Chains A and B, each alone.
Chain A
Amino acid sequence: MSVEEVLVCGAGITSFARTEDDGRQLAVRAVRSALADAGLPWSRVRAAYGGSDAAGNADTLVSELGLTGVPFINVGNGCATGGSALVSAVGAIRSGAADIALAVGFDKHPRGAFDPRPADWGLDESYGRDGLMVTTQFFAMKIQRYMHDYGISARTLALVAEKAYANGVRNPHAWRRKPVDADEILASGMVNDPLTRYMFCSPGQGAVALILCSRAVADELEGTPVALRAAVVRTRRFGSFEVFSPWAPPGTPTSVSADAARLAFEEAGLGPGDIDVCQLQDTESGAEVMHMAECGFSEHGEQERLIPSGATAIGGALPVNTDGGCIANGEPIGASGLRQVHEIVQQLRGRAGERQVPGEPRTGFTHVYGAPGVSACTVLTR
């Protein structure tokens, strides 16, 4: 059975800075920008998938985009919303059901930390009353143990954030666009040991749209298409360590990110060593460190040498989060996964401006991770 090749022929993004716009307005702008980038009218889109966590239903965007009758499916999958929309759009192209498909993710969150309720997580009210319904505690405890097991230092965590802000300076649609150095990051105030304030991303806003198409359509278009070689979403297996768990099983935790990455590489017929540029979930500095190893880009503990050496900076051996990641762009939940893919598409087309990875990168990888243990990964090539 021949499977239809899937290409990204259009990519659109809004600024991730705080504005008065609502999430749907941002989404419409991103979709129009992606269509213009592809050189296609909305009427050619044969299938659409999208969602937000807190900014409304994607299918209502047809009011602004045009009432063409296109099937538009809402995707609500927490942190994997964008990744799930993308996997759905890939399925539509591969099956031959559509020759042009849209994936859109958008969001807008209030300022300040997310506000989870114990009952929504199947937990007793006492977990809220006693101060344990705090997502940042989980991230801190995961990296705390990891640092103990693999010898990662607090300074390396600070260097991850320093790089994120440095890349944000070079990215016109980033939210945080001022450089912050490692000393200032370490001194920015402890939130949950070992993580300080400037090591975290903040809930934010933004929208991203991608137009996918078949090879036949791509051949008619003028732009530079990028091949989407794999798109995978996985949920956790037994043994993983996740946010808001009153208990966890013993032993070395399993990783849904490792599962999703391995399957994405299998699907693409490539390995981590073949990748020129990647985007890894960096909810906070520690997450980027751990995801480097979980996704196969380093051995556990090797990050303590790689990160200070500049290996993950633009111009390093494996640039990570070249657009500044979540730390510099904030976290609009529905948009983040597609922001990562947008960035890789621009890097592979050689259109990433001041943050362009030198040497004409040909292969890229994206990884998103979120509660309650979901991960989405993609592999892209030029």
Chain B
Amino acid sequence: MEGTLSIAADPGSRLRGSRCADCEVAVYPADPVCPRCGGQAEQVALSGRGTLWTWTVQRYAPKSPPYAVPAAGFEPFTVGYVELPEGVRVLAVLDIRPEDAEIGMPLTLTVGDGVPRAVGARA
């Protein structure tokens, strides 16, 4: 199924979220309605730079389907919430080594064909 994420432009592009003009709440993916006040929200391109709010490591292969096991086989991967300056924490797969994960670390967030992904960004 073609979803709202998979029609989002080229791999490595900025995330397209939305923001409510009244209460400044930013969300991802974009939602025409503000989840707090129910007012109209406008689409915005979110910052690509943020910091890690929390994380974990997926140590076992999730149930497949829906999980698509990589061609090279399952390897544990890191996931986390990346906090952006717009005031939103975005769930992403972290393309970092699990042992490097640390709350507060700077990350660069992009989206391509799938969920948002982040890589380490030395500040």
Interface, chain A (partner B; CB < 8 A):
112-113, 115, 117-119, 124-134, 137, 140-142, 144-145, 148, 189-195, 238, 245-250
Contacts and interface: CB of A to CB of B under 8 A. Distances in A.
15 contacts: A124-B3, A124-B4, A124-B6, A129-B66, A130-B68, A132-B79, A133-B62, A144-B54, A144-B55, A144-B103, A145-B53, A246-B28, A247-B89, A248-B91, A249-B89
A144 B6 CA distance: 30
B66 A118 contact: yes
Contacts of B87: 249-250
Interface in B40-62: 53-62
A188 to B, nearest CB: 12
Given A131-B67, A141-B54, A247 B90 contact: yes
Contacts of A194: 56
A246 B29 contact: yes
A132 B92 CA distance: 9
Interface size of B as a range: 35 or more
Given A132-B115, A238-B36, A113 B55 contact: no
A148 B17 CA distance: 28
Contacts of B107: none
A193 B91 contact: no
Contacts of B27: 247
Interface string B82-113: 01000111110100001000010000000001
A140 B80 CA distance: 10
Nearest to A134: B62
A118 B54 CA distance: 22
Nearest to A192: B56
B89 A141 contact: no
Contacts of A148: 54, 103
B3 A125 contact: yes
A144 B78 CA distance: 13
B63 interface: yes
Contacts of A195: 56
B119 interface: no
A189 B57 CA distance: 12
B11 interface: no
Contacts of B93: 130-132
A64 B103 CA distance: 55
A128 B4 CA distance: 14
Given A125-B3, A126-B6, A129-B67, A193 B57 contact: yes
A289 to B, nearest CB: 15
